[in-house]
Amino acid sequence: MTSRILVVEDEVKLAQFIELELQYEGYKVTVAADGLAGLTTARESHPDLILLDWMLPGISGLEICRRLRLTGDKVPIILLTAKDEISDRVAGLDAGADDYIVKPFSLEELLARVRAHLRRNQEDNPDLLKFADLQLNRSTREVSRGNRAIELTAKEFELLEYLISHPRQVLTRDQILERVWGFDFMGDSNIIEVYIRYLRLKLEAQEEKRLIQTVRSVGYVMRD
């Protein structure tokens, strides 16, 4: 699964450098150049990790951290800071950051921290499945796209869970039928098309990008 990282950094050259290096490592990267854009993007796109500069025009990194935590957002946050006094580090961690890196940092250190926090987050939430801005929680059965909660019926949920557990993998109609409706399903196999249509209507209710793609005469695939 491609992890999505939000970089909030107002130093253009540094932001570009981090973006390119993270992309080279295979991450999907979004850059925000000021505090407000950073906070808005974090809330709307639900990245898997945020690299957050401390000193930002508009809202500070520390304040973004506080506001995200206030609304219950548990996204891993690594603060990037030029400050290296102990009190600042404590303030950052108090505000809810998971880690901090003092500038200037080495690329290897940055990448190692990013990997560690992404891994830990996945281990902490094995029931949380994500694809692009879509999230499905197996244990609470909650589904959301960005900030928008989506209500699904039991069958729609099972179908989406199957698709999202196999990102970018083409699932044949037979596989889907067997897995979601069971071997002994005797009804009309058009049932899959019908349910895919229901799911798309709900997932794209606000004109969002299509995530469930049709593979003609084969089946379906979750693809961005």
Query: Which residues contact Ca ion by CB under 5 A?
Result: 10, 53, 55
Nearer to Ca ion, 55 or 111 (CB): 55
Closest contact distance (angstroms) between CB of 14 and Ca ion is 8
Closest contact distance (angstroms) between CB of 103 and Ca ion is 9
Q: Which residue is nearest to Ca ion (CB)?
A: 55
Contact call for residues 218 and 173 (beta carbons, < 8 A): yes
Nearest residue to 72 via CA among 123, 13, 22, 142: 142
Nearer to Ca ion, 60 or 122 (CB): 60
Closest contact distance (angstroms) between CB of 56 and Ca ion is 5
The secondary structure element, H or E, covering residue 209 is none
Give the whole-angstrom CA distance, residue 9 versus residue 29. Answer: 12
Give the whole-angstrom CA distance, residue 184 versus residue 177. Answer: 10
Neighbouring C-beta atoms of residue 205, cutoff 10 Å? 11
Closest contact distance (angstroms) between CB of 26 and Ca ion is 26
Nearer to Ca ion, 12 or 215 (CB): 12
Structure tokens at 49: 């990790």
Nearer to Ca ion, 10 or 48 (CB): 10
Structure tokens at 48: 């898997």
Structure tokens at 140: 């609470």
Closest contact distance (angstroms) between CB of 61 and Ca ion is 8
Nearer to Ca ion, 88 or 204 (CB): 88
